[in-house]
Amino acid sequence: MNRQQILDLPSMPLAGPSYPAGPYRFVNREYMIISYETDPELIRHHLPEPLMPIAQPVVHYEWIKMPDSSGFGTYTETGIIIPCTFGDEEVSFVSQMYLDLEPPISAGREIWGFPKKYAHPKLEVIKDTLTGTLEYAGQQVAMGTMGYKHESLAGNGVRTTAMLTKTQVNLKIIPGVDGEPEICQLVALNLTDITVKGSWIGPGRLHLIPHVNAPVADLPVRRVLGAHHFIADLTLPFGRKIHDYMKG
C-alpha cells in the first residue's frame, strides 16, 4: 500500500479495519437512565480538572440498547455520567462505560476517548419492569429497574432532545510507543439529527455492587431521584478538543 492508501484507512488493522469512517447513525436507540444523589466528595474525586461539580451531587446511571448502529451493528452499553461544568457551560462527563462489542469499543476509545471496557450489559422488558443489568467477569455489578411506561413525559420531544444535545466530555488518554502519554486531553461532542420517538418517566431503583475492574459502586447510591426511558434516532459526529493536559 502506498502512503495515501494508508492514510485513507479508517482504523486498524490494515487487513480488516475494526470500524468504518464516521459519522455514525443510530436508529431506535433505547435508553434507561436512573438519576441519583451520591457523596459530593466522591464526585469531586471522579472529575478531572478543570471540570467542576455542580451544586447537587447528582449521577446518571444509564443503559443504552442500540439495535441498529451504522458501522457497528447491534450492541448494548451501560455506564456512569456525571453532570458538571466546564467554564460557564454545564456538561456531562462520561466517567465509566461497559459494552459487549469490539468495534464500538475501539472506535469509542480511539476517536472520542470514551472510557469503554468489554462487559455484558443487558436492557430488556421483563413482565411489567424495564430491567438493566451489568455483568463483569462473571459477576453482576449493577441492576436497575423501572416501572414500564408508567407516565408519558409531557413535551417529551423538546425536553428529551435538549438532554441529548447537551455537551458530553471525555478524558482521552492514549500512550505513545515509548510508554509516555502521547494524547491526554478533554474531548467534547454533541449528538445531532435527533428524533425522539417516545419518552417516559416512572419509579426506579438502582443496586450497585463493588468490583475492582468495574467500579460503578465507587459512586454509591444515596437517594434515587427518578428514572427516564426513551427511544430516539440520532447521529454521533466527530468531536473537538477542549483541553490539552500535554500543554500544561
Catalytic residue (choose from 116, 149, 166, 241): 116
CB 103 within 8 A of CB 167: no
Catalytic residue list contains 166: no
- Nearest Cα to Cα of residue 25 among 79, 72, 64, 77: 72
85 forms beta bridges with 52, 90
CB 172 within 8 A of CB 160: no
152 forms beta bridges with 200
C-alpha distance across the termini of the chain, in Å? 38
What are the percentages of helix, strand and coil residues in the chain, rounded to 5?
A: 15, 55, 30
Report residue 102 as a C-alpha cell: 469490539
Burial letters 10-29, b for 16+ CB under 10 A, else e = ebeeeeebbbeebebebeeb
| Sign of the alpha-carbon torsion through 98, 100, 105, 108 | negative
CA distances from 185 to 34, 88, 165, 189 (A): 28, 19, 21, 13
Q: Which residues are catalytic?
A: 116
